[in-house]
Amino acid sequence: MTKHILKNGVRVIVHPMSHTRAVSIGVWIEAGSRHETAEQAGMAHFIEHMLFKGTQTRSAKDLAIAFDRIGGNSNAYTSKEQTCYYTRVLDRYTKEAIDLLADMLWNSVFDEEEMEREKQVIIEEIHMVEDTPDDCVHEYLWEAMYPDHPLGHSILGTKETLASFSRDDVLAFYKDAYHPSRIIVSLAGNIEDDMIPYLEQVFGQVSWEEPQKSVLQPALFHATEVRNTKEVEQAHLTIAWPSSGVKDEQIYATVLLQTMLGGSMSSRLFQEIRETRGLAYSIYSYHTSYIDQGVFAIYGGTSPEQLEELEAAIHESVNHLLETGFTEIELENAKDQIISNIYLSLENSTTWMNRLARNEILYGYQKSIDEYVNRYQQVTLHDIEQVSQLFIQKSAKSLILPS
């Protein structure tokens, strides 16, 4: 794989894969909802939508037809710390796909009528999340953990903030967030040798004055509880603790802990709460990591009359873990599971495209697969015991109860 810096500062990382006819292309922006003020909540996600709504030479329909014509699986997403536009195409359509992504990136018009329509589309997206309790229980959790901080805001924003966005507001945020120095283009697949000059031509010609770099403010974790009632059949519960950031040395042990506790069908939580007690259909743990901090959470959904028993069973499982720990066999099985998933996923060009960009964003260089695998292999039961101490800290809790 190779890295190139275009003359305007856009970083390009390329990973040729000769065994496939596919090419995955991603345009990554080092800005997400965490870079918004309270008044801007939802702005990064709104801009993500608007880049599909027409350029100086293509309408929104033209863009859709062009992607469909080349069989492109195109989409985008906004996270707390990044925004990504991506497509996967047959190798012979690589340049056409690059043209489309570059046109969206540099030439979107942000038409005011389209903006008003898209605000309504996103409001419907907000309604969809609100009508999906096993989604919105996590939104409520984040609001509880990080009140008055961008990490606690919904990526979608609110109806009020969306309504307040003017075209000037959107363009000002775009100019800051989408400066070429904050953009990474990652490509993986069956890529032609002349691709770098072509990328320079379509991605490297646009620039403007670089904005002042903003400093991310750390978020203070709040141990608290929030309860919401909805017209639902099940009660939904999430419990969370502060945990490792993605660049923390303990991240590998934390991922293994999450896998053993609630990351698979053989995990402690699944076996105890679903298989042995029959308290829940869906029960799992997950770990979300940001650049400087992370969250370890457990989710379960059950009937209202079993909610207290479910919560008690979760805490019993956690307390048993603190008292007795895991076994060597459990740890080795978790390592095998994670390492197998790493290698199997690398047969896919999209996985490589994502990996290239994430490594560049986090480290500024490409960590080898062997380095990741070795770090997981080096984790000991003592390391797991150390990261398990996060459960001693006070937790945050979010519940959705039937109304």
Taking residue 135's Cβ as centre, other Cβ atoms within 10 Å add up to: 12
Cα–Cα distance measured from residue 231 to residue 378, given in angstroms and rounded to the nearest whole number: 48
CA distances from 392 to 261, 387, 395 (A): 15, 10, 9
Q: CB of 250 within 8 A of CB of 389?
A: no
Single out the residue of 286, 268, 250 nearest to residue 383, CA to CA. 250
CA distances from 281 to 264, 271, 384 (A): 13, 11, 27
Cα–Cα distance measured from residue 64 to residue 58, given in angstroms and rounded to the nearest whole number: 10
Quote the DSSP letter at residue 304: G
Residue 70 token pair? 């080349």
**Secondary structure of residue 47 in the 3-state scheme:** helix
> Which residues lie below 8 Å from residue 99, measured CB to CB, with a gap of 6+?
202
| 48 in catalytic set | yes
Give backbone dihedrals phi and psi of 129, rounded to 5 degrees, phi first. -65, -45
What order do you get walking across the sheet with 83-90 strand by strand?
Answer: 2-5, 11-16, 183-189, 22-29, 83-90, 75-78
Kindly report the CA angle at 260 between 255 and 261, in degrees rounded to 5? 95
| Catalytic residue selected from 30, 36, 48, 114 | 48
Single out the residue of 45, 17, 262 nearest to residue 161, CA to CA. 45
Taking residue 226's Cβ as centre, other Cβ atoms within 10 Å add up to: 17
Cα–Cα distance measured from residue 130 to residue 137, given in angstroms and rounded to the nearest whole number: 9
Residue 278 token pair? 């029959």
Residue 49 token pair? 């939508």
Count CA within 13 A, CB hemisphere, residue 127: 6
Cα–Cα distance measured from residue 202 to residue 359, given in angstroms and rounded to the nearest whole number: 24
Kindly report the CA angle at 391 between 386 and 393, in degrees rounded to 5? 105
Max CA distance (Å), the chain: 64
Instruction: Point out the residues that are catalytic.
Output: 48
